[in-house]
Each structure stands twice: as C-alpha cells, then as structure tokens.
C-alpha cells in the first residue's frame, strides 16, 4: 500500500468511529429537544414541534455544506456526462418497495400477496440495477468491487452490525419510555453507554487490528454484538438498568467499535487511491442500508409478536377482539387501551401490554443476534486477516489488484507491504518490515 492509500484508509477509519458516536449522540439530542418542549414519548416527539430545533440544526449545517459543494460537483458531473437522477431512480424504487413490504408485513401478513410480491419485486429490481450498473462505463455503484473478498466481507460486516444496532435502538427506546416510564430526557441519557463504550473501544480496536489482523478483530466485534443482543433477548421486564441492560448495551457497543473501524479500514484499503471515493460511498451506503433494514425487519418481528400476544392477553381480561386488535397496532395504542379498562383491571391490562411488548423485544433481539452472528462467521470465512498490495501501479479498474487495509493501514511500518500476485489476495501476507528482516 502506498503512503497516500494508507493515509486515506486511516482517515476513513477515524471518521467511521466519529460517525458512530455522532449518530448515537444525535438520538440523545433529539430526545433532549423533545423533553424541553414537553413530548411524553419518542413516537410523539417525532411528530411534534420537538423536531423543529433538530431540523434547523440539520438544515443549517447540511445546507451550508451542500451549497459549498454543489458548484464543484455540478462541474464534475457535467464534464463526465453524469446524470445522478437517472442513475438513482432504480435504486430508490427498489429500496422503498423492499422497506415498505417489510414494514407492512405484520399488518398484511408475511405470506400475503402484497408482502411476497413486494419483496420479490424489490429483489428483481435490485438485480436489474446491479446488472445495469455492471455494464455502465460510469456506474453510480460499481458492483464489480464486491468481487474483492476483503471489500465484500467488510461491507457486509458493517451493514449487519448497523442492522443489529439500529434494530435494537428502535426497540430499547420504546422500552425505556413506554414500559419503564422514562421521560424522553431520561431515555436519551440511558442510551449514552452506547456512545461512551464505542468511543472508548474504537482506538483499542485499531491497535489490536494492527497486531493480529482484520479477520479476528471484526469477527470478535460481531460476536460481541451478538452476545449483547442475546442478553437483551432474555432480559426481564423489570431488569436492573445498571445490571443486565447496561451490560447488554456495553457488549453491543464494544462489538460495534471492534467492527466498524477495522472493517472501514479494510474497505478503503482494499482499493487503490483512485477508487477511494467509491469506497467511501459504499461504506456509507452499507451503514444506511443495514440500519434501515434493521429497523424495518426487527421492528416488524417485534410488532408481529406483540400484536398476537397483546390480543390474547387483553381478550383474556374481557376485551373484545376488535379492542385487542386496536391495542396490537402499537405499544402506545396498547397502553391507551389498557388505561380505558375498569380500575380493578387496569394494572392487569397494563401488565398484559408490557408482557406482550417484551415478547416482541425478545424475538426481535434474537433475530438481530442471529443475523449478526452469521455476519461474524462470514467474516471468519471470507475476510482476509491482512491485505496484499497490488503489483505495480496499474491497479485493476475495480480494485481487485489493490487489496489493502486491516492491520497494515494503521501502522507506519506497514505503509509498504510486500507485493504479491493478486491471486494471493485472500491469504495473509507478511508486512514489509518482516520481509526486510
């Protein structure tokens, strides 16, 4: 790897860690704003004026940066004949259709024509998009990059790590506010262990990666996340916050730290410097896609389990089936229905709703844990421990001959790796310092 490529990989890994922390703190910021304005739950906060300060914050900063970059990007696009709207339309349609189908599945049924057709149609559109992009001279997403095992495995690791993270945060914020009765501010503060533990372990992960390579570090991170999610899948309703809950969050946050930085380094280091922009774009895309699908799939699992159990629990207390189905629309609706029960039955109805929600949380956490564990196994099987540098300066246009990253990218002594044949890219190679010994 050249010095410039090593610098790009190091910088991207640092930015990745900061991005994770900033997004977690962004959730806290939203909850704090909602507390100041007086919203009483996360769902209410998102549809009230509590979002105004947050929107102003995002629009001012985002607008300023976008305004500064638009002229430069427009001139570059014009010279290259690039039409972003044309290229992005297919991916937008497929992503929207897939997400909508998953979110609607608990209501319409997982085996319904709408759900099966929507998911199938989205996959077909995605396949067409990939086929089209592979044949474009100027693709928005160069799918040929995923032929590189280091690039593909690292991208998948990040996507599934954020799948688990976003899915769990979607559930735990509702648990804190609706089941435990935390205020929005209290719920926001209760999620801070994610940010603190991630920030603390991110530099440790990079140092460990430098010594033992990317494969073991990334796989360990994913297994830690899976262990935290499995712990959440068995946590009782009245669990101690400073016990099981913080322990589960700490495991997940440490796992995220051990996954994100090294995997980002692998993505950026697997490409020559000329492909750094494409690598950065794919790195961001994997986070967004993984997080979106995490909320959609884990949320749908939660809602499916919750709806079935709350219907049974409330009907057993004397409610009508229609009332039970109304309560099954959301845990907030369930709490509202429980509050309308006769006074002697309100506590039992409240417990029925809370118990049904915990069943959904446990199942959602289990699904996320299994998904992240599979990602860990994939990382062990396909993610090379260390990178191999491309021979010569004529790197392949898709980056197959420019493999780099992992432990090599974060050490100055690893800036020049012993050059090997691209066919050896899947096998660990000794750093340049060892070759000089």
The conformation of residue 418, written as its DSSP 8-state character, comes to P
User: In this structure, what token pair is assigned to residue 16?
Assistant: 């990745």
User: In this structure, what token pair is assigned to residue 145?
Assistant: 């990059």
* Cβ 285 vs Cβ 133: under 8 Å: no
Residues of the chain with CATH 1.20.1250.20: 3-48+146-314+352-436
Secondary structure percentages of the chain, helix, strand, coil, to 5: 80, 0, 20
Side-chain-facing half-sphere of 321: CA atoms under 13 Å: 0
Neighbours of 122 (CB within 10 A): 20
**What is the model's pTM?**
0.69
* Neighbouring residues of 186: CB distance < 8 A, sequence distance ≥ 6: 176
CATH number of the domain located at residue range(s) 3-48+146-314+352-436 in this protein: 1.20.1250.20
Q: What is the mean pLDDT of each run of 10 residues along the chain (437 residues)?
A: 51 51 51 43 40 45 48 47 53 78 83 87 84 78 82 92 95 92 90 92 93 93 97 92 94 95 88 78 86 93 93 92 91 92 92 94 97 95 71 33 34 35 38 38
- Tokens 């040929």 sit on residue: 144
Q: What is the 3-state secondary structure (H, E, C) of 96-119?
A: HHHHHHHHHHHHHCCCCHHHHHHH
Alpha carbon of residue 35 to chain centroid: 26
- Tokens 């949320």 sit on residue: 299
**What is d(CA 47, CA 34) in angstroms, rounded to the nearest whole number?**
10
The conformation of residue 180, written as its DSSP 8-state character, comes to S
**What residues form DSSP beta bridges with 406?**
386
Residue 304 backbone class (left: φ over 0; alpha: ψ -120 to 50; beta: rest):
alpha
- Tokens 């014009």 sit on residue: 78
Q: CA separation (Å) from 55 to 23, 46, 63, 170, 427?
A: 15, 11, 11, 20, 47
Q: Is the dihedral of CA 188, 191, 197, 198 positive or negative?
A: negative
**What is d(CA 156, CA 371) in angstroms, rounded to the nearest whole number?**
11
* Cβ 221 vs Cβ 255: under 8 Å: yes
**What residues form DSSP beta bridges with 386?**
406
pLDDT given at position 41: 43
**What is d(CA 116, CA 244) in angstroms, rounded to the nearest whole number?**
38
* Cβ 21 vs Cβ 195: under 8 Å: yes
């Amino acid at each position: 790897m050249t010095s410039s490529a090593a610098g790009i990989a190091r910088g991207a890994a640092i930015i990745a860690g900061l991005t994770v922390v900033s997004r977690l703190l962004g959730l806290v910021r939203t909850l704090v704003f909602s507390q100041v304005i007086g919203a009483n739950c996360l769902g209410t906060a998102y549809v009230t004026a509590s979002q105004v300060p947050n929107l102003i914050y995002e629009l001012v900063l985002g607008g300023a940066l976008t305004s500064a970059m638009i002229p430069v990007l427009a001139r570059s696009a014009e010279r290259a004949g690039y039409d972003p709207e044309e290229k992005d339309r297919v991916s937008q349609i497929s992503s929207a259709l897939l997400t909508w189908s998953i979110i609607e599945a608990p209501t319409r049924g997982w085996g319904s024509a709408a759900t099966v057709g929507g998911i199938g149609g989205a996959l077909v559109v995605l396949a067409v998009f990939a086929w089209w992009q592979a044949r474009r001279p100027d693709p928005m997403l160069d799918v040929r990059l995923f032929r590189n095992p280091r690039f593909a495995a690292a991208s998948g690791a990040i996507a599934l790590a954020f799948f688990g993270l976003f899915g769990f945060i979607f559930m735990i914020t509702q648990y804190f506010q609706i089941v435990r009765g935390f205020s929005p501010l209290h719920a926001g503060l209760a999620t801070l262990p994610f940010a603190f533990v991630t920030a603390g372990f991110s530099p440790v992960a990079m140092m460990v990666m430098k010594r033992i390579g990317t494969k073991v570090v990334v796989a360990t991170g994913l297994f830690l996340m899976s262990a935290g999610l499995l712990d959440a899948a068995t946590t009782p309703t009245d669990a101690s916050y400073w016990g099981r809950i913080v322990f589960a969050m700490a495991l997940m946050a440490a796992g995220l730290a051990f996954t994100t930085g090294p995997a980002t380094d692998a993505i950026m280091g697997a490409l020559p410097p000329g492909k750094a922009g494409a690598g950065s774009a794919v790195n961001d895309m994997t986070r967004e896609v993984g997080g979106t699908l995490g909320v959609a799939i884990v949320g749908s699992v939660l809602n499916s389990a919750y709806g079935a159990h709350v219907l049974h629990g409330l009907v057993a207390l004397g409610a009508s089936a229609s009332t039970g189905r109304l309560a099954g629309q959301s845990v907030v609706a369930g709490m509202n229905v429980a509050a309308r029960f006769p006074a002697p039955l309100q506590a039992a109805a409240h417990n029925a709703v809370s118990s049904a929600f915990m069943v959904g949380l446990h199942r959602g956490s289990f699904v996320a844990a299994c998904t992240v564990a599979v990602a860990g196994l994939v990382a062990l099987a396909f993610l090379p421990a260390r990178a191999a540098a491309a021979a010569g300066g004529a790197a392949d246009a898709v980056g197959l001959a420019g493999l780099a990253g992992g432990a090599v990218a974060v050490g100055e002594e690893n800036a020049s790796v012993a050059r090997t044949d691209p066919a050896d890219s899947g096998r660990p190679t000794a750093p340049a310092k060892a070759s000089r010994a």
